[in-house]
Chains A and B, each alone.
Chain A
Amino acid sequence: MSFDPTLIVEAWPQLMRGLETTVWLFLAVMILCTPLSLLVALARLSRRRWLSRAAGTYVNVIRALPLLVILFFTFYGLPSLGIFVSPFTAALGGMVLVTTAYLAEDLRAGLMAVPRGQFEAADALGLPQARFVRRVLIPQALPIMCGPYFTRAIVTVKATSIASLVAVSELTSASMAKVTETYRAMEYLAFAAVAYILLSALIAVVQAVVQRRVRLP
């Protein structure tokens, strides 16, 4: 057994393209899921029965399905309905559907950790609900949400590897393509592993910065 780093250097452009796709997929998922999951979390806490029920049903159904099954739905299922999208878009759609459900639960826990007294004070002052959410609830929930949010981000960055099974040439897929092409596994998998670790580390750095900024005085 030998480890030949020059193999990585030779495959660098392909591997980097895969990494790039992973990063874009991840960023697109998080950018879409963050506001959506906040809305779902707020909906679940809403006093309007039908709204909290609808949100709860969505979360519970989606949570029960394997990510891969959902990606197969968006990849194979949509075209059978006459909706044709690129593999990237299909994967993005499926991942947004799933990640929003999980993230909504994470954020809901943060919202629920804000003390009851805050709701009562706002009610007693007659603060409109939207203003309460924006000015009181979210600023106080943010520091609590941070940890679970970024943990979910790290889970999501790794989950993008599943998109390799629906024809998206992301990091795992690009690495595996080289493995089957050259019959050398260690080099390319090592590249992929290091890249995932670096991405997670980067997320942890962002978390530390954000956590400092949203801390309550």
Chain B
Amino acid sequence: MPLAELLRVALEALRVNLMRSVLTMLGIIIGVAAVIAMVTVGAGAQAEIDRQISSLGSNIFMVMSGTRSRGGVRTASGSEMRLTVADARALKAEIPEIVAAAPTMRGVGQVVVGNTNWSTTIQGIDNEYLVARGWQIDEGRDLEPQEIRSGSKVALLGSRVATELFGAANALGQTVRIKNVPFVVVGTLLEKGQSSMGSDQDDIVMIPLAAARGRVLGRSGPRSDAVSVIFVSVAEGWMMDDVERQMGEVLRQRYRVRAGADDPFAIRNMSEIVETRAEARQVFNILLAAVASVSLVVGGIGIMNIMLVSVTERTREIGLRMAVGAKGRDILLQFLVEAVTLCLIGGVLGILCALVITFGIARIAEWPVLLQWPVVVLALGFSAAIGIFFGFYPARKAAAKDPIEALRTE
């Protein structure tokens, strides 16, 4: 019997019991959707994690003032200690594994050009910062050491700020007013995308640390060279633990912390934080894999069950087909094609569901969607395999029927 004819018979049989067919497909639909969502979301998440890790800069510590507590960092009340530029210099000088130690200050402010204004993050930096965080200049240049020292009114614009203020026009050499202080744009930064916390890293203006103090970031701290965070970049990943220990020692010495007392500063390993989040996603992936395999197996059993029912219901049809010349092989093929068709339709519906789920998750989590066609093809192949595996027993049962007995059933 030609395949087209087998397919027509199968589709007709499935159409007659439409509701039953759809319910039977459900397991396959969920299974396939879960598999594809798993792989797609997993790949998207992995790409996002990779990007975040690289956008973080490599092997980054954040050092800030405040005592460490379980939930993270809390500013110690009373004896408030402020990290200083000198602390950053000392760390770099005393620990050779440190590639860059960048003291920074951070605040929020309006940046105005003509009639356009934009509220953004203002970061006071020194020359180590771009290196430490892996930022790259898009157009123009980095801040000069001399400009850092003297606190010149020059600025680097993040790509978001540059587009918001200047659109497609060239920002270089233009003057922007940051909290009413005029700054000259000397460079723009290459796009970095979202941070692991979900904020837009390109929504930023960088100016010399000394310029940020005072007028731009408001009140000056208790010490004139106080900074809020020191970013420390380490040469190799395996040095991280040792460097963390050494930094603790250096800072404890500088602040004369008594043995046993709480540290008035906190050191956070940023790369570790991102990796922890990656692990959380891994758990989510394993969960999806479990759902997928369970529902594919349950779906397969459902297919087998419904095919057995179908074979029993159509015993007379089977007898008649045999009476007019169908061989065992013809009947076997007919029911196998029916089971496989059922699974393939389920697979296609599952793929459609997966697309909806994937785009949904990607939207909410703002991950890139990486729909992989090989996976889609694989999922279809897998549903067909389930159809063959679970459809074989009912089909063989149909093919083994005795024509006379079959014709005699009511």
Report if A and B associate in a common complex: no
